[in-house]
Amino acid sequence: MPTIFVSGASGGLGAALVGAFRQDGASVYAGTRSPAHPGDVDLNVRLIPSCEDAVRSVVDADGGIDILINNAGMHLAGPVASLDQDRFKETLDVNLLGAWRLTRAAVPHMRRGGTIAMISSLSGLVGLPDDGAYAASKFALEGLSQSLAAELAPAGIRVLLFEPGRVATEFAGVTDGLAPEIAARAIVDAIARRDTPFRNPIGEDAARVFEALGVDRGERSEALVRAVTGCDWQPRTGA
């Protein structure tokens, strides 16, 4: 039975991911600022000690982590030139550094064959008006994930990116679009496959954006990384 740790799991897509993994019989831990249910873990991704304590509680219970889902996030809207500096920093701190902190804490305890899934966004591919802070955080997350994929491949750990389209979670004010349970099932099923590419659209609108932009699912970027450094993104799962 695999051990799953999902951040940002108090509601929305995070809670739906927890539910989908549990339907499949996994041992799932839900990272949340307000633990209230069995399997909830107190987690504030803005604090290194909190990330380390949360990971330690999961490892103490199950011995290791098979799948880490970096889902915690926040949204800040507004024109770039008028953004509040502290709120901009907070957005980067949660969406980018939060994923880094939790990954940093979890990697030493991840089992070979494991997966780190980053919940990115179409805003990590296209910067829209009044969305610059969020786009900056997600563009940066995409770059961090590429480097991480090459670094962790020798340890047998793969990194996957997911770019959902509109999901009806009320995040960023979105109330229409894909049901979070459907989005979560698509992500869970993709993680279960070993041939899933590095970058993955979730939802028909996301698939259309990928097609319109000719988005690299990972093959071209990996080839460039291999040409420059000799590293690839294919996990080595042997001993």
Residue by residue, DSSP assigns 50-88 as HHHHHHHHHHHHHSSEEEEEE-------B-GGG--HHHH
Confidence label for 49 from pLDDT (cuts 50, 70 and 90)? very high
User: What does the pLDDT look like over 139-193, one tens digit per residue?
Assistant: 999 999 999 999 999 999 999 999 999 898 777 777 788 899 999 999 999 999 9
CA 217 remoteness from chain centre: 16
Residue-level pLDDT at 169: 79
- Host H or E run for residue 158: strand 158-164
Distance CA 55, CA 43 (A): 9
Residue-level pLDDT at 42: 97
Residue-level pLDDT at 237: 57
Task: Tell me the pTM.
Answer: 0.95
Rounded average pLDDT over 40-51:
98
29 is catalytic: no
Distance CA 209, CA 224 (A): 23
**Is the predicted pLDDT of residue 238 greater than 90, yes or no?**
no
**Domain extent listing, the chain:** 3-229
Q: Which residue is catalytic, options 5, 29, 134, 139?
A: 134
Class assignment of domain 3-229?
Answer: alpha beta
Contact 141, 154 (CB under 8 A): no
